[in-house]
Amino acid sequence: MTVADERTPVTPGAEPPTEPPRFGPRRPGSRWAWVRPSVWLPLTVMLAVLSALWQYGARRLPYLLPSLPDVGRSLGANPGYYVHNALVTLGEATAGLAMGFVAAFLLAVLTSELPLVHRAVMPIAVVLNVTPLVAIAPALVVAFGFGPLPKLIITGLICFFPILINTAAGLRSVPLPVLQVYRTMDAGRVELLWHLRIPHALPFLFAALRIVLPLSIIGAVVAEMSAAGSTRGLGTAISVASSMNQLPVVYASIAVLAFMGVLLLLAVSLVERRALHWHDGRQD
Amino acid sequence: MLQAPALELRSVRRAYGSGPSATVALDDVRLTVPPGRFVSLIGPSGCGKSTLLRLVAGLERPDRGDVRVHGVTPAKACAAKMIGLVPQTPALLPWMSVLRNVTLPQKINPGAGRRRKEIAASIGRDSAGTAPDMRELLAEARLGDVVHKLPAELSGGMRQRVAIVRAFGLRPDVLVMDEPFSALDEFTRESLQDQLLRLWDELRTTVLFVTHSVSEAVRLSDTVVVMAPNPGRIVESIDVDLPRPRGERLFAERRFHAYEDLVRDRLRRAWHGDAASAGGSRA
């Protein structure tokens, strides 16, 4: 995996979305839409075609691709191994994300309230953003060893910038007439922040979370791979297995990572639906 | 004891930008409004009516001259929550129900009540009573059925009514309204004018109402202040001496149309720049 791939969602200097992505209007009955063949058939056919191609390739190039049944067998033979390592990686990713989130959120509030902080911090944050942070991973491993700390730092740093930028934009997104109404009541800064700015920033926060969740897993995996002495985590599992030419284990681990990412995104979507039910058909 | 005017502007000037490229939004504006009057500001675009409103609401400060709300600066009036603002858009909080939208202002700036009493005492005016029951006020504005709905679930006219109720809920000494009905269709607009007049009839607060519509100004106001651009100034104040309540039958009356024609004529003259006097209002 390349650095460029991983950074694409957060182009440096790009304007954050003014209207964060949201769900389309929920139509009655859409819950059962999947029973119609027109919904599930295209994907099923596509998956079948891809698997057939994969199997063909695996037969021709057995040293490059494991066959799908082998991957499945590896998963089935030792599920505990994958679950355990997945939980380790998941723990690193979410803990790092949480750290980055708290730091970025607090800093975003500070920058929106104090222009001085904004001027002091934002240039550094932008430089941090264009720096390929995974390149720091080996140095952090040298400094902090093979434990969880360098993994948390990498993950936290990777998540930091998108959250900072999106939250700062969200805190500024209160429409002017709304601000004016509450200014004529001489609302205090804390009142404006709590009642107007933070709620208005919520859609931006969820948009940031969608960007940052996959990044957090990437950060954890890369950090595990850079720490040659690590013993746990899916990143470690992949590097160990590939050094021993156990291709089914490598691909099984990758599949578990992908599955984990999907689960995380689903979780965010669920929370977002609950928290932002008002955001569906916005007024004005 | 002579009561201080609800609004007093003395030789107010406000310019945007500096040097020769500056636009003078308001120049030498004098305006005095006694308490309880409904005053409309009308004029072509660029005549500074919105600027005047922002000065009164404490959202901007004059470059020269003086603005007073019941004898105190707009900033102090805001700190005492004496001013209610209804902007052009409803400006409701989309995640809050109608009821919570209109009750939030009562929780904001809790120190305002004491300051307001002090100001009221110092100018010899009855301080506004306790906070009104917002459910009742919503019901009066025919919003009783939607108190628990979100703003997005309401029509444009209903949302603007919520914004008006929110402002009235403060029992403001001065209510400033910035073209609140301009985004609505004519039918909705007339019904909202009715409801605004009904609410105002009860509370009799001073209203400063910016509008583009001549008939709206004449129908609602005790005084129509005609403004002209380049530089923004007041050219004439016309007292509208029509009986209240002003229901729909008013539209059929000849006197109503005579006032409309008068305001239109003054606007036309202001537009062509042959209004001799700049300022000199007598509201």
DSSP string, A89-144: HHHHHHHHHHHHHHHHHHHHHHHHH-HHHHHHHHHHHHHHHHS-GGGGHHHHHHHH
Looking at CA atoms only, how far is residue B78 from chain A in angstroms? 5
Angle at B31 between CA B25 and CA B32, to 5 degrees: 155
Prior bond to B74 cis, omega within 30?
no
CATH code: domain of residue A94: 1.10.3720.10
pLDDT digits (tens, 9 = 90+) for B92-128: 999 999 999 999 999 999 889 889 988 888 877 766 5
Closest chain B CA to residue A189: B109
Residues in chain B closer than 8 A to A182 (CB atoms): 105, 108
Angle at which helix B186-203 crosses helix B156-168, to 10 degrees, equals: 10
**Could you tell me if residue A283 is inside a domain?**
no
From B198, B8, B17, B166, select the one nearest B87 (Cα to Cα). B166
Structure token digits, residue A100: 């980055």
Nearest Cα to Cα of residue A158 among A77, A218, A247, A69: A218
The band of A23, judged by pLDDT with boundaries at 50, 70 and 90, is very low
pLDDT at B61 over 80: yes
Q: Does A188 touch chain B (CB under 8 A)?
A: yes
* Residues in a beta bridge with B7: B33, B69
User: How does pLDDT run across A224-247, given as a tens digit for each residue?
Assistant: 888 877 788 999 999 999 999 899
Does residue A218 sit within a domain?
Answer: yes
Flag whether A21 is in a domain.
no
Whether B271 contacts B253, CB under 8 Å: no
Confidence of residue B273 (pLDDT cuts 50, 70, 90): low
User: Edge-to-edge, what's the strand order for the sheet holding B206-211?
Assistant: B83-86, B174-178, B206-211, B38-42, B223-228, B233-239
Number of domains in chain A: 1
Residues in chain B closer than 8 A to A280 (CB atoms):
152
In chain B, which residues have their Cβ closer than 8 Å to the Cβ of A177?
A: 87-89, 91
Question: CA of A55: how far to CAs of A62, A74, A248, A253, B163, in Å?
Answer: 10, 16, 13, 18, 64
Check whether A20 has a pLDDT greater than 60. Answer: no
Average pLDDT of chain A is 85
Domain presence at residue A36: no
Residue A219 forms part of a structural domain = yes
Integer Cα distance of A185 and B170 in angstroms: 9
% residues pLDDT > 70 (chain B): 93
pLDDT at B56: 96
pLDDT at A19 over 80: no
Give me the pLDDT at residue B183, please: 85
Summarised one tens digit per residue, pLDDT across range A272-283 is: 988 888 886 433
pLDDT, tens digit, for every residue of A141-192? 888 888 888 889 999 999 999 999 999 999 999 999 999 999 999 999 999 9
Closest partner CB to A186 (pick from B81, B87, B95): B81
List residues in chain B touching A: CB distance below 8 A. 57-59, 75, 78-79, 81, 83-85, 87-95, 104-105, 108-109, 112, 150-152, 159, 163, 166-167, 170, 176
Q: Domain containing A221: what range? A: 70-275
Assigned domain for A31 exists: no
| Residue A77 CA neighbour count, 13 Å, CB half | 9
Contact yes or no for A280 and B94 at CB 8 A: no
Residue type, B125: R
**Residue A99: band (very low, low, confident or very high) from pLDDT cuts 50, 70, 90:** very high
Task: Identify the residue whose tokens are 């040659």.
Answer: A228
Q: What is the pLDDT of residue B126?
A: 67
| Residue of chain B minimizing CA distance to A194 | B108
Whole-number pLDDT of residue B58: 94
The pLDDT of B189-211, averaged and rounded, is: 91
DSSP designation for B20: G
DSSP sequence for B161-205: HHHHHHHHTT--SEEEEESTTTTS-HHHHHHHHHHHHHHHHHH--
Residue A284 lies in a domain: no
CA angle in degrees (0–180, nearest 5) for B68-B175-B252: 125
> Sorting pLDDT into bands at 50, 70 and 90, what band is B151?
very high
Any idea how long chain B is? 283
| Amino acid (1-letter code) at residue B145 | D
Residue A122 lies inside a defined structural domain of this protein? yes
Query: Which residues in chain A are contacts of B108 at CB distance < 8 A?
Result: 182, 185, 187, 191, 195
H/E element, B53: helix B49-56
pLDDT at res. A5: 39
Instruction: Please tell me the least confidently modeled range out of A17-21, A53-57, B135-139.
Output: A17-21
Residue B169 C-alpha, separation from nearest chain A C-alpha, in angstroms: 12
Res. A18: pLDDT tops 50: no
Residue A193 has pLDDT above 80, yes or no: yes
